[in-house]
């Protein structure tokens, strides 16, 4: 197992672990909560110090579970990331978006649930087309001034939105240091514009879905039914996220990565996570896990350098099924879309 390594987040002094545990609960059932506690414990045991969640995950239950799980830890030794945008509670008129009202209320709710005085990184979960960006950035600036938020990031913003946000942040005396996009061997949309713009602005990527919702583990075989209990069979939201990859041409090519993973001495999952970390604009890859052993497996990607020859072979195998078109990233309105 590799030793956990740390990277700076954007052009800041904040160091975070190369692998982040993403506390994304789907329904917050008792079983799921217990698994999440075990996975947080496994994360800490494997050197992961960075934890990413959001108020909308399992309608606030994910934050509550993470707060409980980290309660006994030294606060200074962990980095807690959460997000604001989506509605929680009754979904009334001011319960969504990036208005000053919603940001302030959401931040206070998150602090309570996470049982902490401050959030290390507070992220705009989506871009809000209905609120002036000035209002949003001013609210973030005020939370920073109040000491309730240490750093500010965003999620799934376009290159242009990042540029506008970074300029306003600078005027207000703080920095935008991160963006949280989807990124994997199969989904390379950010490479075109988001990454070059981010490098210029001093913004890092905190990537989600580095194993493409589990597809890159190789557990889904062409022409076979998906394993019981896997993401592909989850009627509560997992299945439609993963549907785009559940085609035999994609799955057959993913199977061809197995000998490459073996050669590198990594599991398929660790190879996929390590692949995202080869991009120097990526600060950390968020892994999701429903079992502690998956955490250890994914954490093994930290500190791994994949040689150029291996990266070329991966590209040759996957080339026909790689998604690179930014137009495909915003299939639905940012008001309703959930990560």
Sequential DSSP letters for 232-245: GG-TTTHHHHHGGG
* 57 catalytic per annotation: yes
Collect the ranges in the chain with pLDDT lower than 50. 330-339
Q: Which neighbouring-strand residues pair with 286? A: 20
Which of 265-293 are b and which e, b meaning 16 or more Cβ less than 10 Å from the residue's Cβ?
A: ebbbbbbbbbbbbebebbbbbbbbbbebe
In the structure encoding, which two tokens stand for residue 87, read together? 């509605």
Give the number of other Cβ atoms within 10 Å of residue 170's Cβ: 13
Question: 21, 48 in Cβ contact below 8 A?
Answer: yes
**What pLDDT, on the 0 to 100 scale, is given for residue 230?**
83
Q: What's the CA gap between 104 and 121, in Å, rounded?
A: 15
78: left (phi over 0), alpha (psi -120 to 50) or beta: beta
Check residue 151 and give left, alpha or beta (phi > 0: left; psi -120 to 50: alpha): beta
- Provide the pLDDT for residue 238: 67
Note the pLDDT of residue 259.
98
Instruction: Tell whether the torsion through CA atoms of 107, 112, 114 and 116 is positive or negative.
Output: positive
Q: Which of 8, 21, 57, 122 is catalytic?
A: 57
Half-sphere exposure of 24 (CA within 13 A, CB side): 16
Q: What is the pLDDT of residue 25?
A: 84
């Amino acid at each position: 197992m590799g030793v956990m390594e740390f990277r700076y987040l954007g052009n800041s002094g904040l160091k975070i672990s190369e692998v982040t545990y993403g506390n994304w609960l789907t329904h917050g059932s008792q079983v799921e909560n217990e698994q999440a506690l075990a996975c947080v414990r496994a994360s800490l045991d494997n050197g992961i110090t960075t934890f990413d969640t959001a108020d909308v995950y399992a309608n606030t239950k994910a934050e509550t579970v993470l707060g409980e799980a980290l309660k006994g830890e030294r606060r200074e030794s962990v980095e807690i990331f959460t997000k604001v945008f989506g509605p929680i509670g009754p979904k009334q008129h001011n319960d969504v978006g990036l208005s000053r009202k919603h940001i302030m209320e959401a931040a206070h709710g998150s602090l309570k649930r996470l049982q902490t005085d401050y959030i290390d990184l507070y992220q705009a979960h989506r871009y809000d087309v209905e609120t002036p960006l000035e209002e949003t950035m001013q609210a973030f600036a005020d939370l920073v001034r109040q000491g309730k938020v240490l750093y500010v990031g965003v999620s799934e913003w376009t290159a242009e939105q990042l540029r506008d946000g970074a300029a306003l942040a600078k005027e207000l005396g703080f920095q935008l240091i991160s963006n949280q996009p989807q990124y994997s061997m199969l989904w390379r949309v950010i490479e075109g514009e988001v990454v070059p713009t981010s490098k210029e602005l001093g913004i890092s990527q905190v990537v989600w879905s580095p194993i493409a919702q589990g597809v890159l583990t190789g557990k889904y075989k062409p022409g076979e039914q998906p394993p019981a209990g896997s993401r592909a069979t989850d009627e509560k939201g997992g299945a439609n996220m993963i549907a785009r990859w559940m085609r035999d041409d994609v799955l057959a090519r993913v199977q061809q990565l197995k000998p490459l993973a073996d050669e590198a001495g990594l599991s398929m999952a660790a190879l996929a996570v390590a692949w995202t970390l080869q991009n120097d604009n990526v600060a950390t890859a968020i892994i999701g896990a429903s079992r502690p052993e998956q955490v250890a497996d994914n954490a093994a990607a930290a500190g791994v350098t994949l040689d150029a020859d291996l990266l070329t072979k991966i590209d040759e195998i996957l080339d026909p099924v790689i998604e690179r078109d930014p137009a495909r990233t915003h299939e639905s309105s940012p008001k309703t879309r959930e990560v």
